[in-house]
Amino acid sequence: MFDNLSARLEGVVTKLKRKGRLSAADIEAALREIRAALLEADVNLTVVRQFTDNIREAAIGATVSRALTPAQQIIKLVDEELRSTLGGDSFRLTFASTPPTVIMLVGLQGSGKTTAAGKLALWLRRQGRHPMLVGADLARPAAVEQLRILAETAQVDFFSEATDPVSVAREGIARARSLGRDVVIIDTAGRLAVDAELMDEMRRIEGVAKPNYTFLVIDAMIGQDALATAGAFSEAVGLSGTILTKLDGDARGGAALSVVAVTGKKIAFSSIGEKLEDFDTFHPDRMANRILGMGDVLSLIEKAERQMDKQVAEKGAQKLAQGKFDLEDFLEQMQQVKRMGPLKGIMSMLPGVPRELRDVDIDEREVARTEAIISSMTREERRNPAIIDASRRQRIAAGSGSTSMAVSNLLKQFKEMQKMMRQMGVGPASATKRPASSRAAKKKGKRR
Amino acid sequence: MHSAQIILLLVVVVLVVGGVAFVGARSRRRGARPEPPAPLSSPRTSAPPAQPAEKVTARPTQGGLISGPEPAPEELDLHAEEKLAPEAPATIQEGLRQSRRPFAAALQGLFKRNTVEESFWGEVEDSLILSDVGLDQATRIVEAAKERVRRERITDPAAALGAIRAAMLEALSLADRSLSLEGERPVVWLFVGVNGVGKTTTIGKVAHQMSEEGRSVMLAAADTFRAAAADQLGLWAERAGADVVRGAPGGDPAAVLFDAISSARAKGTDVVLGDTAGRLQNKTNLIEELKKIYRTVEKAQGTLGEVLLVLDATVGQNGLAQAKVFSEAVGVTGVVLTKLDGSAKGGIAFAIEETFKIPVKLVGVGERIGDLIPFDPKAYVESLTALD
Ligand SMILES: Nc1nc2c(ncn2[C@@H]2O[C@H](COP(=O)(O)OP(=O)(O)OP(=O)(O)O)[C@@H](O)[C@H]2O)c(=O)[nH]1
Ligand SMILES: [Mg+2]
């Protein structure tokens, strides 16, 4: 998993002396590694060829920088090229002046359209919109029922009927209009790009729905076929962008690059988990890192292995896995991590750190403050922070020379961290009830 | 220590301390007024709550419609050539053609030139890569084919093609692709895999074939997670003439399987087919859950016949990780490669067979109940390397 491009390149190019210019042979050696890394990430071969051609051109012209090693310099070129392909800014959805704004989701079978429809609905509702979900997948057994349950969970309106996909779309939009709903999301059946009949049906749905947006839903695990599939859908209907799903998996997602290359449209949204709220606008910059193999993790791990006490670290990892990681463990681990140098530096190399955090200027004294606060807690408080009430908070604040606010901040962040770990699937199986269907369970649960 | 564990510890520390700093910095910026800390894990939830219907302010365009930031060029009625996004350069167009029939150009060139040139091997490698075989495996296959051509002094194209096919078949040389129904009833088959690959559909198809063969079949709806998953399986059970045992949505999937096996034994049913929820292989808790489901077969005194990993033919190199994790967790006995009726080639099967020694046993070729066939390596390789 951490077999990243920088590691590959370091292997080929570090031996190079600085010669003022990268030699043609060096560049070719590097390009071979880049090709391999991109293919491993599932970028389509045609796109890889184009990509490496561009890098070659840029590299031949470039003079060797004093500040960067040749490897770093090539990585920078790759990174810039990736970013410029994926596009710098996030996608922005604008709404029709005469509602409803119609959004149609299309894609292969199993790419995640229905779930994405539900998530998009919730995402829009949380922005103050009033979406209606329209179930036009009449092909897959129980697809309509699935969407109905998702609509209920997302608390949005739902429409479908057992006619045909084209009339469902038409009726759904009419219904939304009469109810004053401002967005209609049409879920369509999965179809293969080679299935002429179903591709034609999709065109007919587009014909009556006249969507303002048509999103291609693509699975992040897809391989070389991303190009052919995205190309075919883009030929058939007017795509506005792509929704990339299952990004919470460990696929590199190089397909993102193929899809953008062939459709010329952005990745609009990413779907990052099984819960309805696991959905957001797509961040091109993070994707670039991901395709390249997660930033500088490798060197970070090496550093950690050198500087952390193995036993202590192992204990912490175990506690995390058991879901028993408390503030006492945290204090221990923080003291370890401190040895590795400024937190800011570590953060910039870590995969999966939220953007909001990346940009924060961490004052290194924050570590000391946090340490002081936890040290002022009793053993019992560290093991079970839930017992910390206002008076205990004040005592801890006084003991550590901080404020009661700072204490609750810390506790809050610790809790958030625990929540995130659960979302990432860290912890024991029993502690991870997957909640989406529990609603439905209450509603229509048959007892065994 | 595993690198993932180290990363996790670092993330933990960074999240907490960084979060504190983040909140601190923000409140300082806003004039030192402390405010409730922002939940870092869900910045989305801070969006305003739903409001009553309101007029939206948006840029008006013709026809009362509004399109995205980059309005799509007049969609519908363009001719095929012009329908690609204008940015798509000619090479992508060529790439598209090649992606659909990876081997066609290379082989046609070979037969036209009537000699085996060095550049041809590069084209074969590319064709394999475009079929999702993966760079390493493609290199191995090309080397083997080249070696054979050298050894046997092959010069004519047909024999060269034969050498390529032979090399591909070598990677698919696992002997046993049979599906086990032996042992005391009920025999249990489990279907596992990531989300959306075709587990439930495959179960419907398998149930149908078994009923046709005169076996009694019980389906266990042990996907209690995805909305309407049990309804979907129930509809397949109806079509296939099989029984189905369902649990409460959100309930314990292992318990559902236990009940199904127990009730199958009581009724003397031949086979239990266990559907499981799709799960990504990097979610350790869900893999643990799957292990528990797996152990249930023994607990309920069923005979474990097969654990089938369902793989989508579109899958890229991540298919390897799927095969690895699932087989380590629940001893996968075979692969079902679905959606081979599409443009994807499912080439990851080569590496999976060669690396993990897990045979592909079944192939899904459509959405209808009869669209499931046994995997035939020879037919598969021939269709991959078809000349036209
Ligand atoms: N064209 C084609 N479609 C298939 C094939 N097998 C399954 N599908 C379709 O793929 C989609 C997903 O299939 P499911 O059986 O629901 O997949 P699953 O693995 O059970 O999905 P989850 O339970 O949600 O993880 C459905 O639309 C199926 O009709 C196949 O061989 N060919
Ligand atoms: Mg299923």
pLDDT of residue B31: 45
- Across residues A183-210, what is the average pLDDT? 97
Residue A302's pLDDT is what?
60
Q: Whose CA is nearest to atom 5 of ligand 1?
A: B339
Q: Do B280 and A239 touch (CB under 8 A)?
A: no
Q: Give residue A308 CA to ligand 1 midpoint distance, Å.
A: 46
- pLDDT for B43 equals 34
Where is mean pLDDT largest: A46-60, A179-193, A303-317?
A: A179-193
Domain stop point among A89, A119, A136: A89
Task: Identify the CATH number of the domain in which residue A28 sits.
Answer: 1.20.120.140
The sheet with strand B243-245 has its strands ordered as B243-245, B217-222, B271-276, B187-192, B303-312, B334-338, B360-364, B372-374
Instruction: Calculate how close chain A gets to B152, using CA atoms only, in Å.
Output: 31
Distance, in Å, from the CA atom of A374 to the CA atom of B16, rounded to the nearest integer, reads 12
- Portion 345-364 of A in contact with B at CB < 8 A: 346-347, 350-354, 356-357, 360-363
Q: Quick one: pLDDT at residue B46?
A: 34
Q: What is the pLDDT of residues B119-145, one digit of tens each?
A: 999 999 999 999 999 999 999 999 999
pTM of the complete model: 0.74
Percent of chain B with pLDDT strictly greater than 90 = 67
- A127-136, A340-349, B191-200, B345-354: least confident range: A340-349
Shared-domain flag, residues A33 and A114: no
The CATH number of the domain holding residue A226 is 3.40.50.300
- Answer yes or no: is A94 within a domain: no
pLDDT at B72 > cutoff 60? no
Q: How does residue A84 score in pLDDT terms, banded at 50, 70 and 90?
A: confident
User: Which residue from B190, B199, B201 has its CB within 8 A of the most atoms of ligand 1, so it is best to mutate?
Assistant: B201
Averaged pLDDT for residues B10-21: 79
pLDDT of the residue at A318: 87
pLDDT at A197 over 70: yes
Query: Considering only A259-268, A287-296, A330-339, A352-361, which range has the smallest mean pLDDT?
Result: A352-361
What end-to-end distance do the CA atoms of chain B give, in Å? 52
- Residues of chain B in contact with residue A126, where contact means CB-CB under 8 angstroms, are 44-45, 47-50
**Secondary structure (3-state) at B65:** coil
What's the pLDDT tens digit per position in B258-291? Answer: 999 999 999 999 999 999 999 999 898 999 999 9
Q: How confident is the model at residue A288 (pLDDT cuts 50, 70, 90)?
A: confident
Q: Does A61 touch chain B (CB under 8 A)?
A: no
| Domain limit, last residue, from A89, A110, A142 | A89
Q: pLDDT value at position A301?
A: 65
Whether A228 has its CB under 8 Å from any CB of chain B: the answer is yes
Say whether A95 and B58 touch across the interface (CB within 8 A). yes
Residue with more model confidence, A268 or A359: A268
Could you tell me if A150 and A278 lie in one domain?
yes
Question: Do residues A443 and A347 share a domain?
Answer: yes
Residue A4 banded pLDDT, cuts 50, 70, 90: low
**Closest by Cβ to A235, choosing from B2, B80, B98:** B80
Query: A79 and A119, same structural domain?
Result: no
Residues A141, B235: C-beta atoms closer than 8 Å: yes
Alpha carbon of A111: minimum distance to chain B alpha carbons (Å): 7
Q: Is the pLDDT of residue A442 over 70?
A: no
CATH number of the domain to which A433 belongs: 1.10.260.30
Q: Which residues of B touch A441 (CB under 8 A)?
A: 248-251
Is the model's pLDDT at A169 over the cut of 70?
A: yes
Question: Could you tell me the pLDDT band of residue A291, with boundaries at 50, 70 and 90?
Answer: confident
For A357, the closest of B34, B40, B95 (CB atoms) is B40
User: What's the number of domains chain A is made of?
Assistant: 3
Cβ-defined contact of B65 to A212 (cutoff 8 Å)? yes
Comparison of pLDDT for A250 and B168, the residue scoring more: B168
Nearest-atom number in ligand 1 for the CA of B229 is 23
pLDDT at B106 over 80: yes
Q: In terms of domains, do A20 and A159 share one?
A: no
Provide, rounded to the nearest whole percent, the portion of chain A with pLDDT above 90: 52
> For chain A, how many residues are written?
448
* Residue A113 shares a structural domain with residue A178: yes
Q: Of A94, A231, A410, which has the smallest distance from its Cβ to B96's Cβ?
A: A231
- Closest in B17, B54, B318 to A362, CB measured: B17
In this structure, how many other beta carbons lie within 10 angstroms of the beta carbon of residue B159? 15
- B231·A194 Cβ contact <8 A: no
CB contact under 8 A, A126 and B43: no
- What would the pLDDT profile of A363-422 be if each residue is shown by its tens digit? 778 888 899 999 999 999 999 988 999 999 999 999 999 999 899 999 998 988 888 788
**Residue A21 reports pLDDT greater than 70:** no
Ligand with smallest separation from the Cα of A146: 1
Mean pLDDT value across chain B: 84
Same-domain status, A127 and A220:
yes
Alpha-carbon gap, residue B380 to B125, rounded angstroms: 18
pLDDT of residue A66: 59
Shared domain check, A170 and A41: no
Q: Which domain holds residue A18?
A: 5-89
Instruction: Please provide the average confidence, as pLDDT, over all residues in chain A.
Output: 85
Name the closest ligand to CA B204.
Answer: 1
Residues of B in contact with A413 (CB under 8 A): 15-16, 19-20, 23, 37, 40
Task: Enumerate residues 6+ apart whose C-beta is below 8 A from B294.
Answer: B190, B307, B329, B330, B331
Is the model's pLDDT at A112 over the cut of 70? yes
Q: Tell me which chain B residues have a C-beta less than 8 angstroms from the C-beta of A37.
A: none
The pLDDT of residue B89 is above 60:
no
Q: What is the interface pTM, i.e. ipTM, of the complex?
A: 0.77
CB contact under 8 A, A47 and B95: yes
The H-or-E segment that residue A33 falls in is helix A24-40
A322, B16, B101, B254 from A421: Cα distances, Å: 11, 12, 44, 24
Amino acid A367: pLDDT: 85
Residue A43 and residue A122 in one domain: no
A395 located within any domain = yes
- H-run or E-run covering B372: strand B372-374
Compute the average pLDDT of residues A192-201.
96
Separation between Cα atoms, residue A115 and residue A107, nearest integer Å: 13
The model's pLDDT over A315-331, given as tens digits with 9 standing for 90+, comes to 888 888 888 899 999 99
* Least distant ligand from the CA of B346: 1
- Which residues 403-432 of chain A have a CB within 8 Å of chain B? 403, 405-406, 408-410, 412-414, 416-417, 419-421, 423, 425-429, 431-432
Domain B187-332 fold is: Rossmann fold (3.40.50)
User: B383 contacts in A (CB within 8 Å)?
Assistant: none
How far lies B296's CA from each of A121, B186, B226, B259, B272, in Å? Answer: 38, 13, 21, 10, 13
For chain B, the structural domain boundaries read 187-332
Looking at the partner chain, which of B44, B195, B343 has a beta carbon nearest the beta carbon of A194?
B343
Give dist(CA B289, CA B274) in Å, integer. Answer: 14
Q: What is the pLDDT of residue B186?
A: 97
The answer to whether residues A119 and A58 belong to one domain is: no
**Contact criterion met (CB < 8 Å) for A2 and B3:** yes
Residue A433 has pLDDT above 70, yes or no: no
Q: Which residues line ligand 1 (CB under 6 A)?
A: A 109-110, 140, 190, 192; B 193, 195-201, 223, 226, 229, 278, 310, 338-339, 341-342, 364-367, 371
Residue B179's beta-bridge partner residues? none
More confident site: B189 or B83: B189
Q: How many A-B residue pairs are in contact by the CB < 8 A criterion?
A: 472
Structure tokens at B373: 């066939």
Confidence tier at A349 by pLDDT (50, 70, 90): low
Q: Is A372 inside any structural domain? A: yes
* Residue B4 reports pLDDT greater than 80: no
User: Considering CB atoms only, which of B16, B247, B344 is closest to A417?
Assistant: B16
